[in-house]
Amino acid sequence: MEVSVLNINGENTGRKVTLDESVFGIQPNEHVVYMDVRQYLANQRQGTHKSKERSEMSGSTRKLGRQKGGGGARRGDINSPLLVGGARVFGPKPRDYRFKLNKKVKQLARKSALSQKALENAIVVVEDFNYEAPSTKVFVEMLNKLNVSERKQLFVLPSNNKNVYLSARNLQRTKVSTASDINTYVIMDADVLVITEGSLEIINNTLTNKEA
């Protein structure tokens, strides 16, 4: 699949790049995409939720009523879960929500996500660019010229670029990531991927187990 390379003014440079079929042209596997996104979201959870059980409550342990003959359910002390303000039965406890996925499964998920974006014609390739200083105004002008300002964008750069990151961080619809750090969640969360030329080789090498 060939894609035209644009400059930051949205103009066609006359050059084209070929997207690797083994990365951008496979049949998307929806289940592995689901599993990888689920793992990513699970890893974001702190797991610090906690409610007090009966043994952890403070309060009198005096028995409130007779064992039998009261006409209602048996109640022990004031901490009984049956009473308002009492303990909670089987409440949440701190836990780790992370789970393991095989490396090849995660790799297939990223390939499937990228291939899905290719099928939707939601990939824009631009020349490598840099800013001498952070400028959100200049960045917004570039989005308008690339005709992607109305959609959620993921900008994929070959390496960390502080000026580009600072220019984009206040924009609600824009995320910036490096080619080696993109994951299935951020790919699927974006409406369009804006990938720099230098990032394509890194993505291909990462997902095809080639040496960069």
Kindly calculate the radius of gyration of the chain based on its CA atoms and give it in whole angstroms: 26
Distance CA(5)–CA(198), nearest Å, equals: 12
- Which token pair is 186? 């951020």
For 189, phi then psi, to 5°, come to -75, -20
Tell me the pLDDT of the chain averaged across its residues. Answer: 91
Looking at residue 19, its pLDDT comes to 92
Looking at residue 210, its pLDDT comes to 54
pLDDT per position as a tens digit, 110-152: 999 999 999 999 999 999 998 999 999 999 999 999 999 999 9
Is the Cβ–Cβ distance between 192 and 212 less than 8 Å?
Answer: no
For 108, phi then psi, to 5°, come to -65, -35
Give the rounded percent of residues in the chain with a pLDDT score beyond 90. 70
Buried/exposed code over 169-207 (b: 16+ C-beta within 10 A; e: otherwise): eeeebbbbbbbeebbbbbbbebebbbbbbebbebbbbbb
Give DSSP secondary structure letters for 108-139.
HHHHHHHHHHHHTT-EEEE-----SS--HHHH
- Set out the domains of the chain in order of their start, with CATH numbers: 2-46+99-207 (3.40.1370.10), 51-91 (no CATH)
29: amino acid identity, one letter? N
